[in-house]
Amino acid sequence: QKEVEQNSGPLSVPEGAIASLNCTYSDRGSQSFFWYRQYSGKSPELIMFIYSNGDKEDGRFTAQLNKASQYVSLLIRDSQPSDSATYLCAVNAESGYALNFGKGTSLLVTP
């Protein structure tokens, strides 16, 4: 079974701070890594994807990938209360577009 592990949280950060979310995966053959955000009662929406080692920045979000250590992280700079949600890490499964998801980390940004 290919595992994707996340700390369930909740992770609480003050408004304006940097939120750091982490994820580890078990399958060394994984090629593509995704971060989805899910608000309560809503469906997941894609924030970022990364497939090369290193950092990838998009606005206030930075995804970091370290394949040797099998971890991927998401940094949210200048956190806002509207960022409060569950963040899901996903790793591509085998062929096709199927994804293995972690159980998510709940983020709470306090004003």
Q: Does the footprint of another protein cover residue 24 (CB under 8 A)? A: no
* Cβ(18)–Cβ(77) below 8 Å: yes
Whole-number Å distance between alpha carbons of 104 and 41: 14
Select the residue interacting with another protein from 21, 88, 107, 109 (CB under 8 A).
88
Q: How far apart are CA 93 and CA 74, in angstroms?
A: 20
How far apart are CB 34 and another protein at their closest, in Å? 6
Smallest distance, Å, CB 14 to another protein? Answer: 27
DSSP state of 76: E
The binding site for another protein (CB under 8 A) comprises: 1, 31-32, 34, 42-46, 49, 88, 90, 92-104
